[in-house]
Amino acid sequence: MAYKLNPMLAEHFDDAQGIFLREQLTNLKREAIRIEFPEFKARSLIPVKTETNTGDEFVEFKTLERVGRSKIVSDYAKDFPTVTLRGTSHIGRIKSLGDSYGFSIQEVRNAAKTGTPLSSELATAAHEAIMEQENQIAFFGDAEHRLYGLFNNPNIPRSLAPTGVGGIDWSLKTPNEIIADLNQVVNGVSENSLGIHMANVLLLPLTKYNAIASTPRSATSDTTILQWFMQNNPYIQRVVWLNELETGSSSGDAMAVAYKLDPSVLQLDIPQDFEVFPEQVEGMHFKHPCHSRIAGVHIYKPLAINFLEDF
């Protein structure tokens, strides 16, 4: 379907200018929606849920816990034990994210005269701003609007890093002490869940990641701490750096996160992905409102996640 200009806007342009503007706005909208922002990592580290109805104001989800266990039975047994899931219901809020981009009437006339395409930077910036806020909410939540992110969920186990011989910071710890910290956060998932869950992803602050990626395992080793850890840990498939973890702990210090990356464990709920609305005329300029909706991060199995703080 051909792009139709707002009649209040179209009346300010001749036919050639109108055709130019329709083509430009079509291209800009397509570009704004198409572009991706890999620097925002939330969607690559948290499974995304899009099934929630965008018209809802609240969403209900459950934290699940297995109840019951199996037993050895005889051939003619009838007393098979029941295993079920006990769920605790949670109500999450859904909030809209919005901004806009636009041009003045004169900017369009000048561009049409010279045949210069309208800059896509404004449309891209509008999309980027919404994705940046989505990323922030996905990790830290939004206390004012009562949205939970991954880091501020109160049900996830967390512990403080132990103090080494030289101190608590990794810059003061030996390679053995750093490896012990890595094992503590990863093994915490299997231990807290009694072996039901195994972490497969480890998130670290960039400075800590760089430290273990460039520090030898020992004075006589040709492998780094990170290489040794990946070779010897049976669970972790990926170690990823994340800037947000530099101040992710409860005290605003460094934090590590080990978790099972699976939609049955956690999901980032996006009822409405980024969208661009038709232009709205305001005086001698017009703007395109941009919009999305987010319900934060739902944690279904908190024991499949573990935090290590302040190192």
In CATH terms, 7-66+83-150+267-299 corresponds, of 1.10.1040.10, 3.30.470.10, 3.30.700.30, 3.30.2400.30, to 3.30.2400.30
Cα 143 → chain centroid: 17
pLDDT at res. 308: 98
Report the CATH architecture of 158-265+303-309. 2-Layer Sandwich (3.30)
Name the one residue in this structure whose structure tokens are 């934060």.
296
Q: In degrees rounded to 5, what are phi and psi of residue 235?
A: -105, -45
**Residue 16 pLDDT exceeds 80:** no
Residue type for 248, please? G
Domain(s) of CATH 3.30.2400.30: residues in the chain: 7-66+83-150+267-299
**Residue 17 pLDDT exceeds 90:** no
Tens-digit pLDDT profile for residues 202-249: 999 999 999 999 999 998 989 999 999 999 999 999 999 999 999 999
The stretch 87-106 carries a mean pLDDT of: 89
DSSP string, 5-48: --HHHHTTS-HHHHHHHHHHHHHHHHHHHH---TT--HHHHS-E
Q: What is the average pLDDT value for the chain, to the nearest integer?
A: 89
**Rounded-to-integer distance, Cα 10 and Cα 23, Å:** 13
The stretch 112-137 carries a mean pLDDT of: 89
160-168 contacts, C-beta under 8 A, 24 or more apart: 160/308, 160/309, 160/310, 161/308, 161/309, 161/310, 161/311, 168/310, 168/311
Domain(s) of CATH 3.30.2320.10: residues in the chain: 158-265+303-309
pLDDT at res. 78: 73
